[in-house]
Amino acid sequence: MDSTKKIFITIAMIVFLIPHYAPAGEIISIATDHFPPYSYEENGTAKGIQIELAKVIFDKMNVRLEVPVLPWERAILMAESRKIDGLFGVRKTEERMRWLIFPEEPTFEVSTVIFKRKDDPFVYAGINSLQNKTIGVIGGYTYGDQFDKSNIFKRAKVANLKQNFLKLLAGRIDLVVSYQDVGDYILKDINLQNRIVACSVPVHKTPFYIAFARKPGHGKLSREFSRILKELKRSDQCPETMSKIGIPPHMIQCE
């Protein structure tokens, strides 16, 4: 092989290894709320399994991530007005697709469940079993189309899940709806895991995304994020990476 051909092959290999989206020093701000174990703030620093996974992807893109932890409704308004670059932990809906760009690849799948007091004989058996109940919800969250559109029960809206669980124990509401991993984490954190339990049948299962505000360049950013996430899920390093981050197998299936 002559030297010219060797140089050409070397350059081609270097180009192939450079990430397709690599704006040097790019900083993006993707907001979340207090949503453990997916995301939360500890000593002024944003942590959580979805944030750690995002850092792995963005590092490969040469993009620096900033994560403001905000009340969810405020985070939504800021993304909608393009004051931030995106949102963590977003369920895809037609309405949200008007002002957010969703990657093709979701970060993981989550289950929405009904929580009840342990001594309550209630059994969740579909939306109709919620007839005339008062259910604690979080403002700005969605829980699947059936739940979101139903008018057979009352919604009691608060700012965080801990408030809902305390209201449930006090008898001020009948039930609480929540993403199961988040509910389990909060109950353990406030030592109520033996007094409040999740119903076994899920209300809904849905993929969760990191979605980007509709700003110039974010379509390309979204496509590159999706490409690298897919590659990670299909790589031999996937099980070790997910284990290190703390993402359980039921949330991400390595291929």
For 115-174, what is each residue's pLDDT tens digit? 999 999 999 999 999 999 999 999 888 898 999 999 999 999 998 899 999 999 999 999
Q: Residues with Cβ < 8 Å from 187, sequence gap 6 or more?
A: 115, 165, 193, 196
What is the pairing mode between strands 204-213 and 108-117? antiparallel
- pTM for the complete prediction? 0.73
Q: How far apart are CA 36 and CA 39, in angstroms?
A: 5
- What does the alpha-carbon distance between residue 188 and residue 201 come to, in Å, rounded to a whole number? 21
- The answer to whether 187 touches 116, Cβ cutoff 8 Å, is no
Number of other CB atoms surrounding residue 34 within 10 Å: 20
The CA distance from 61 to 127, in Å, is 42
- The contacts of residue 163 (CB under 8 Å, 6+ apart) are 136
pLDDT surpassing 50 at residue 227: yes
Q: How confident is the model over 209-225, as a mean pLDDT?
A: 96
Going through 123-192 in order, the beta strands assigned E by DSSP cover: 134-138, 154-158, 175-179
